[in-house]
Amino acid sequence: MYDVLEPGADGWLRGGEPWEPTQPFYAVLGDPIAHSLSPTIQNAALREREIDTEYVPVRIDAGRLRSLKDGPLGRLLAGFNVTAPHKEAVAALCDGRTEQARDMGAVNTVKVEDGRWLGHNTDSGGVLTVVAQIWGAGTPPEQAVVLGAGGSARAAVDALLRWDIPRVEVHSRSAEGRARLAGWLESRELADRVDLRPLAEGPPAPTGSSIWICCLAGGVDASGWLPAAAGEAPAVLLDLRYGDQLPANQAPLGFRFSDGLPVLLMQGGLSFAWWFGPPVPWSAMSGALT
């Protein structure tokens, strides 16, 4: 467990005590943030590569992001990851973004150069790599279903479309979330490849090979929106949650299952590579999680 860093009245507070960085450091920004395992994997990677810096969790509200960029608090912040609910707000503050970050309309990785925030997004790449590994060789599944319509669902949809799945269904309880996702799809001319449906309609029955990606909020039971069992064809469930955020429910009968730890690892490794270049110490990062 790492002490959480927070902006105080006169500087940083670390674990509630005043703290002043003495060298450039890296961080993950979010609210809440204490549950994040990113410090665990990134600090393991830094030790393995013998890079003399540290990676800390930072709890910050949206109203302080601008002052973090322009004020003295961010003076030695060399780079950071971004988690909910700040990915779009940070994207708007970036001085430059990679093509992937522009496509996603969100940023989860930032490199700081001469005070300029350069934004990147490894969310979709992390999901795509993991779902392809879980699925294995051969053609992609015939059916893809995403539960939820928030930021992680956007990454899941992007990954599935890049995997050349012809059509994706998104089931969400939030009409506002579906509207936001629809606007993003239209801006990228992808709306004709995605069906947006209320979650209350219930799950579609698998009619062929299928992959399901759960992007619901932590603790929300997804079992009522999943089929009772797989059909004759292969079926995979990837739940992007992990640890205390993941409900203790069994995957449907006949489904292969993975929680979100492999995606966290992949996203973190891609972020590390963007900051420091290869090699990425995958074994050290994976070992830290276990």
Distance CA 93, CA 274 (A): 19
Query: Taking 80 as the threshold, does the pLDDT of residue 185 lie above it?
Result: yes
Q: What is the mean pLDDT of residues 219-232?
A: 88
In the predicted model, what is the mean pLDDT of residues 34-62? Answer: 96
Strand pairing of 5-7 and 12-14? antiparallel
Q: What angle do CA 103, 105, 111 make, to 5 degrees?
A: 90
Domains (range + CATH), the chain: 5-121 (3.40.50.10860), 124-260 (3.40.50.720)
Task: Say what the pLDDT of residue 153 is.
Answer: 92
Is 204 a residue whose pLDDT tops 80?
Answer: no
DSSP-assigned states of every residue in 52-101: S--EEEEE--GGGHHHHHHSGGGTTEEEEEE-TT-HHHHHHH-SEE-HHH
Scanning 123-170, the segments in alpha helix (DSSP H) are: 123-135, 151-162
| pLDDT tops 90 at residue 195 | yes
* Catalytic position from the list 59, 69, 87, 180: 87
| pLDDT tens, position by position, 68-91 | 999 999 999 999 999 988 998 999
pLDDT tens per residue across span 106-118: 999 999 999 999 9
Whether the predicted pLDDT of 273 surpasses 90: yes
What pLDDT is attached to residue 1?
Answer: 73
Mean pLDDT across the stretch 40-59? 97
Q: What is the pLDDT of residue 201?
A: 67
Provide the whole-model pTM: 0.91
Per-residue pLDDT at 167 exceeds 90: no
Judge whether 69 counts as a catalytic residue.
Answer: no
